[in-house]
Each structure stands twice: as structure tokens, then as C-alpha cells.
Homo-oligomer: A and B are copies of this chain.
């Protein structure tokens, strides 16, 4: 059994990303990433802190815009408009969830799709499925980068995705399909899930249910990617897969924590650098 060690992959990729940032700086461009955070949701605060740390380590300009949870929709929309028009910002995200008085759809739609590094705006989702995308949702892209690192072949393999969220399940299905896997998308209404899951050469689980996936869901020798981030009965972080139960059956598995999590941030950073590289091309092209 081999661990899909997201932390290790992330630091390996950090090295080449760091070089790309240096090259950009030599051209007078610093990748600019901003995060809008509202309120004091503790999970969100942790995510944002991790993003900040990685961005600063890579030499980005990082802006954290932190509002009280009494902020109005208009204030956020004005800030988005400002970021949309700020040439030094290559990408930005609004950390979800948002307080009740704010319409999340409206907020997401206000973000210029060219700066939407989360990849959730309709035009970016569309390009993802058409197979012509620059910006890919970070978790899905991070999973593919991790599988690539461990040389997991996808072409012709049976991939099963459990969970069909717009944030993980659907985009990872799109990317597995782009890599020529045969892709099955399963969800809460799927019948005989253990049978369907156990056909998977590559199983991606993103349901948010602690240790839900047991050995009977797993094909002998499967590669398992666990996107879950839950707390078990003792308050300890755990995934959607019962790691100990499946361990003897899998050929590779991503742990929680230290699997998909670090890869998500890596992809977000990579996407920001790609956008900064496009800015550099434009700036140089117009000289």
C-alpha cells in the first residue's frame, strides 16, 4: 500500500512554482491573490490562514479582506468590483459560506470569470466540461495533480466519483473524463453503492460523512482519494473513508489530513501563477 501523500506532493510542486514566481518577478510581475473572508467561521479562518501562508511563502502579493459578519451585500459587491478592476490582482476568491443576508449566487456571479480562481462561475464550469479551460476548481485539479505525481494511469480506467457537488464531485468527474477514464457519478440516490463503488479502479469520495466507506466498497487494488474533512466521534479529523478498514485492499490511498487538502491549496496557487503568466504575456506583448 502506498500513501497518496498530498503534503509531500505539494512541497515538491512548490519548488517549481517558486521558480515560476521568480521568473515573473524578473519581468516585474508579482502574482496577486486576494481572499474575501466574512465573519469568524473557524473552519473558514483555518482555510484562509493556510492559503495566506502558502501564497506568502511562494512570494505572492496576498491580500486578506476581512469583514465583520454584519457586512452588507453592497459592500462586498463594491469590493469585488474594485478587485475585478485592479490589475495587480490576478485572482481572488470569496471564502464560503457567507452569512444569511448575503446572496452567494449573486456574489459568485459578480466575480470576473477571468479572475475567478475558484472556477465556480458558469462560464468556467462550461469551459471545464467543453474541455477548454484555463481555470479549474482547485480541489478537482489538485486530485488530478496528485494522481499524476504518483503516476496513476487514468485512460480506460473505471473511475467512480461518490458525491456530485458543484465544488468537488462534478468537476473531478469532468477532469477524469478529460483524462479518458470511464466515469460514473454516484450520489445519495444511488442504489447498491457498495457494488458500484467496488467496480472502481479509481474511487473518489466527497460526501462529508465520517468513515462512511468501508472495505466492502473497495475493489482489490483500487486507488482511493478521500476528499472528506470530518471529525470522528472523538473529535479527531477524519475522511469519508474508514482508512483502517480499507487499508488491506487498496493499492494507494490519500490520508486525511495530509492528502487532498494541501493539494487544493497547491492548485489554487498554480492557477494564480498561470493567470499572472498570462498577465505577463499581455504586458510584454504590448510593449
**Chain A residues close to B by CB (< 8 Å):** 121-131, 155-156, 158, 164, 166, 170, 173-174, 177, 180-187, 189-191, 196
User: What is the bound-complex CA distance between A282 and B190, given in angstroms?
Assistant: 41
Tell me, in angstroms, the Cα distance from A177 to B129 when the chains sit together.
Answer: 14
**Interchain nearest-CB distance for A124 vs B (Å):** 7
**Which of the residues B126, B156, B166, B196 comes within 8 Å of A190, measured between beta carbons?**
B156
Indicate how many identical chains form the complex.
2
**28 A-B residue contacts at CB 8 Å?**
A121-B126, A122-B122, A122-B123, A122-B130, A125-B126, A125-B129, A125-B130, A126-B127, A126-B128, A126-B129, A129-B174, A155-B189, A156-B189, A156-B190, A164-B177, A177-B185, A177-B187, A180-B187, A180-B189, A181-B189, A182-B184, A182-B185, A182-B189, A182-B190, A182-B191, A183-B184, A184-B184, A184-B185
Which residue of chain B has the shortest Cβ distance to A193 in the bound complex? B182
- A56 to B73 alpha-carbon distance, docked (Å): 46
- Complex CA distance for A127 and B155, rounded to whole angstroms: 28
Q: Which residues of B are found within 8 Å of A124, using beta-carbon distances?
A: 122, 126
Known: A121-B126, A164-B177, A182-B187. 16 other contacts (CB 8 A): A122-B122, A122-B130, A125-B126, A125-B129, A129-B129, A130-B166, A131-B166, A155-B189, A156-B189, A156-B191, A158-B196, A180-B187, A182-B184, A183-B184, A183-B185, A184-B184
Q: Which residues from chain B contact A131 at a C-beta distance below 8 Å? A: 166
Taking the closest CB of chain B, its distance from the CB of A195, in whole angstroms, is 10
A171 nearest in chain B by CB position: B129
Residues of chain B within 8 A of A166, CB atoms compared: 129-131
The residues of B that contact A155 with a CB separation of less than 8 Å are 189
Give the complex CA separation of A2 and B191 in angstroms. Answer: 25
With both chains docked as a complex, state the minimum distance between the C-beta of A169 and any C-beta of chain B, in angstroms.
10
CB closest residue in chain B, given A195 = B199
A196's partner among B177, B182, B185 (CB-CB below 8 A) is: B182
CB-CB < 8 A to A173: which residues of B?
185
Which one of B127, B170, B182 lies within 8 Å of A122 (CB-CB)?
B127
Taking CB as reference atom, which chain B residue is nearest A154? Answer: B189
Chain B residues with CB below 8 A from A125, complex form: 125-127, 129-130
Question: Could you tell me the distance between the alpha carbons of A182 and B187 in the complex, rounded to whole angstroms?
Answer: 7
| Centre residue among A122, A130, A183 by max chain B CB count within 10 A | A122
In the bound complex, what is the Cα–Cα distance between A158 and B126 (angstroms)?
25
Residues from chain B with a CB closer than 8 A to the CB of A129 are: 125-126, 129, 166, 170, 174
The residue in chain B whose Cβ has the minimal distance to the Cβ of A183 is B185
List residues of chain B with CB within 8 A of the CB of A123. 122-123, 126
A183 to B180, CA, bound (A): 16
